[in-house]
Chain A
Amino acid sequence: MFKMLHSALAAAALLALTGGAQAADWKPEKPIKLIIPFGPGGATDIVSRILAAKVTETIGQPVVVENRAGGGGLIGLSAVREARPDGYTVLVTTIGFGANPALYRHKKIPYDPLKDFTLITRTAEIPTVLVVPPSLGINTLQEFIDRAKAKPGTLSLGSAGYGTVNHLAGELFKAETGIQTIHVPYRSGGLSTTAVVSGEISGLFATTPSALGHIKNKAMVPLAMGSAKKIDTLPDVEPTAKLIPGFDVPDWQGLIGPAALPKNIVDALNAQFGAALKDPEVVKRLSDLGAIPTPSTPEEFVAFVTSEVKKWNSVADRTGMKAEN
């Protein structure tokens, strides 16, 4: 009897001890599910798989990538929103995360990016570049704007669909310059790139990795970076921000979890993914893909998403963009 009590006490003490250890420094005890709200093979998917492989090495448990595609990322997002906030279900989200509230505000807003989720860290971003077909005969950003103003509604900007980086950058461009262009959505980034090469559309805010080869082969003319900074692989291309101050639309990615994720879990995941993003091998892999690692604190990520939501709401005010027309 005494022995039993003793062992029970010991067990309780052990429990308290491990519980205390957990509060200070969270260590996962089972595999972590990393949801990608898109199909396999896209830039977000590939970058996340590289990160997952690295974090698996350091965190002591496998980080398993699960693709939950559909509804422009909404299916994956709702899976995470409904998951338990225990750190075992997280998701990599992209630019649409902060833009959806603006895109869907005419009907039911699907979620609140700041209240329904816990933001853990930004992971990476892929710079964008405005490209046009050579047959268009336009070589500078100013010429593009002038042509659009001289002949309103004749120039078209492609995209990989509503709420993608190509669409959003185009909408911001319209809002800032006051020009009228036709939005031509395609099923994928690849098809919209092809449409520029064939001259089917007049322009595209493309992710740089998808455009670099075509620019080198003179199958596309780069007018300006869509993201704020110049990049090494396109040293002669100035950012759009030079003409339109503050213009910065990269294809960003970040790690999020369900609402009310405990602070120690957020910090542990932030530290693990942050370290992976600074690992020289990972940095090289990402830069080969044209992606730039952007580790951040949770607070910085919150501030960033807050500014994104504001930005896209303001664009929607000015251009009337929405996910349904």
Chain B
Amino acid sequence: MKKLIISALIVLSAFSCSKDHPIDDDGLLITPRQECYVSNFELLGADYLTVLTKQPVIDTTAQTVSVIVQFGTDLKNLFPQFTLASDCKLDPRIVGKVDFSDLANPKEYTVISGNRQISKTYKVLITVQPR
């Protein structure tokens, strides 16, 4: 019995120390994936309801996300939500409300692939629905 326990401990220690799964500065797993794109986008108002009038148009070539928001949307207090390809991460990270009111200078977000070798910067282009 003693031998069995000791052997199990040795095996566990060996596995826990292996460095086959590297992580990045954010503590996220680095994987072999190369995909790097935005697959969906949502924009919520301060009341946590969508402000979009229709589905966003995501151009992965031009690297833009184009949306039309409802008339009267408070552009200073919005919560963007990105859906990314597997294992990708976003920079800058979204930690709360974002001010999108400067329509002349669209906000930019960089998508970084799972292998952390590829990055693509997307612009979020907002159009306000007319009254």
* A and B bind: no
Which residues does B use to contact A, with CB under 8 Å? none
Chain A interfacial positions (CB closer than 8 Å to B) = none
